[in-house]
Chains A and B, each alone.
Chain A
């Protein structure tokens, strides 16, 4: 099993590669934004609800967060369709191979997400009803959160495995693939990005005019500050996470373009950290919000490009081999068609048309003098000697004469062929 170079699907790509790539990257960017908000929301809803056990006003914040999760999760799922479609077309040989290798684990994404959604709904819609039993309510949210956290891990494992065809032979299960470099560092990276992004989202959400959180002991500025804090903490951790991801990347996927992109990111992140710090320590946080978002959006775009760069570098040799093998195969198919057959075999008498029908339709089950699946012809035909009409009827609608044989399936044979067949067998 040395050659793990499959052939590609023998149909042309539906659009030029650059267009498909652009569609992939843009739709993936939108998808991952909402995935981050969905996962981050499910984490932060728990965090704020737990805070709300001490300070009632946080419970209200929590409930508001739960409301956003409903919208964000539906958008996350629907926006995922386009990148899944496009990656399946652009990287068919690699992506489908890794998906199939992961098998059950990959399929588990579906029930896990369904359950996550249902638990998230339960958590949101039972809020007032379960006010008295916060423990149970938190459990609902906790289950949803765990489920939401598990799915990106499966995705990452698959996306990672597709990049390294040299590891395919050794992947017996999801667990093997999970420990390949560099799934876990990427997952940690993803988690920090989720928290950072969601933190900023809630800075916006709770910082809007009209948010009536100024009641009670909780000012909206405090809420905003808390979320800025999360964003700051997560982005700081990202420096470590990013470093870890880079260090654990297999050497052969690191290209010059990648280094340049990451260099740019490294230049921008400290600025973002500085601004975030200023916001957290400000009297009235929010002044620098727009530029922080702009900066971090640029960072995200650069990261999407970096991911793509890694993927292309890793997959390029395998892709070239697949293309070559496919072209070779196509050529051989065309050649083989030129040699296609002269029916009739090696001389001798041309077979009668009835015998051809017999060969095609009957011979697999009926032999002349022995039992195969059905009774031998020398026996079975006896009642029909001189009765071609009855035989034709039987063939088309067999009854069940012999219990020791399996039932004969009705044969749909057109009239003229049936005639020839019956003529042939009865002489």
Chain B
């Protein structure tokens, strides 16, 4: 409403954010939060048992992590701000105001983390012998700092789904200590450890010869590490599940599988369980038969756990709908408390970047297009992912799309689909939207990425 509209009409705005965010979570959890304690622990153990071959292996794993985290890891983190500020500035703008100090203190911790990982990596080879203990202490400090950054960010994420009493009291602490916080934090911590173990397993295969003792040892140790963390991970996942607001559970089937696959929810769950069990199985196999003939099998745990985390993140983001900030702001940037006002006075009239401020008989389609951009385009594209045309075809297969039917549907869409926000405009605007959408059946439209500025 108050910002220009950016539209990624092929991949969709949600995918843009999702891609950056999921890559970031995978790297952050596997390569940083989980891996640093893993490496520090094994470094300590290797030092205590005098295993220089282990030490070299761990250094190589760290080298990979160093390159990945300081490039892709760090930049995708900032990339989440970049993408959300362009796709939904109202939402991220609100989050920044509420959680400014949280992000600021996380930044301080992050600076320490970067300094420490530079130190940890760049001094590894030099700090040998008596100085090894100091180096391990650097590793411990680094692990603590990594975890702390995640601890702070998790509060913000949990808030988006369940802000506790915040919407009523506007109290920052209530937002920070929201009900989903502790469960999600422990879930992520244990998941990060397990992911790091799987990553180390995959990388160890890269850096060790197939028939060597070091190979079988490292495979067993890293698999064992992963298995160790899977037990509390499973428990905390269940606790986390219980902290999700009950009314958001209705969104689960579509969250998990998209509309197209929601009917097969049971099947998808079984498939996910199968992936998890396979991953578990490979880890157990690693303990029992580390000298497996097929080296590539040791990549499976890492790939599968990445898949599971990606699915988790998608589900988490979706079940929160129709809200982007639960019980405060809908996904289209409209706040709950302004929705009735907009429904009476108009979405177009209250937006800054619109050309048409009211709906009249001669501008219905153009006004409808602007209404679509304001109220729907955050999640729907015209021809790309979650395309509105595809959705309409699914609703009215083989029929002509009638304006009345579409209007009637949009009027109560939040009843028919609980993950849809209510239409935030006047009846005239709704009719205009319906007329625009009905026209899309025969005449497609192209939305430029800079959708607010009319092309001459």
Contact = CB atoms under 8 A, between A and B. Distances in A.
Direct contact of A and B (CB under 8 A): yes
Interface in B392-407: 394-398, 405
A377 to B, nearest CB: 14
Interface centre among A11, A89, A103, A407 (most CB of B within 10 A): A103
Interface of A: 1, 3-15, 23, 70-71, 73-75, 77-82, 84-85, 88-89, 92-93, 96-97, 99-101, 103-104, 106-107, 109-110, 113-114, 117-118, 121, 168-173, 329, 332-333, 336-337, 340-341, 359-365, 372-373, 400, 404, 406-407, 409-410, 412
A412 B70 CA distance: 46
Given A372-B408, A407-B263, A336 B344 contact: yes
A409 B262 contact: yes
Given A100-B86, A169-B453, A372-B405, A412 B93 contact: no
Given A14-B97, A372-B405, A74 B74 contact: yes
A412 B250 CA distance: 6
B89 A359 contact: no
A9 B90 contact: yes
B376 to A, nearest CB: 16
Given A74-B74, A85-B96, A409-B262, A363 B412 contact: yes
Interface of B: 1-6, 16, 20, 67, 70-72, 74-76, 78-79, 81-83, 85-86, 89-90, 92-94, 96-98, 100-101, 103-104, 107, 110-111, 114-115, 118, 122, 249-250, 253-254, 262-263, 335, 337-338, 340-341, 344-345, 350, 352-355, 394-398, 405, 408-409, 411-413, 415-418, 449-450, 452-455
B337 A81 contact: no
A78 B114 CA distance: 7
B78 A7 contact: no
Contacts of A364: 408-409, 411-413, 415-416
B83 A77 contact: no
B340 A85 contact: no
Given A14-B101, A99-B85, A110-B20, A363 B408 contact: yes
Contacts of B110: 78, 81
Given A84-B81, A110-B82, A75 B114 contact: yes
Nearest to B455: A172
A144 to B, nearest CB: 11
Contact of A333 (B263, B341, B355): B341
A71 B118 contact: yes
Contacts of B104: 23, 82, 85
Given A7-B2, A84-B81, A93-B2, A77 B75 contact: yes
16 contacts: A6-B353, A75-B114, A79-B111, A85-B103, A88-B81, A88-B92, A88-B93, A96-B85, A96-B93, A103-B6, A107-B79, A110-B20, A336-B344, A362-B415, A362-B416, A373-B396
Nearest to B337: A333
A130 B76 CA distance: 30
Task: Across the A-B interface, give the 4 residue pairs with the lowest CB-CB distance, nearest first.
Answer: A6-B2, A14-B100, A364-B412, A117-B71
Given A78-B114, A360-B412, A409-B262, A172 B453 contact: yes
B335 A10 contact: yes
Contacts of B82: 99, 106-107, 109-110
Contacts of B111: 75, 78-79
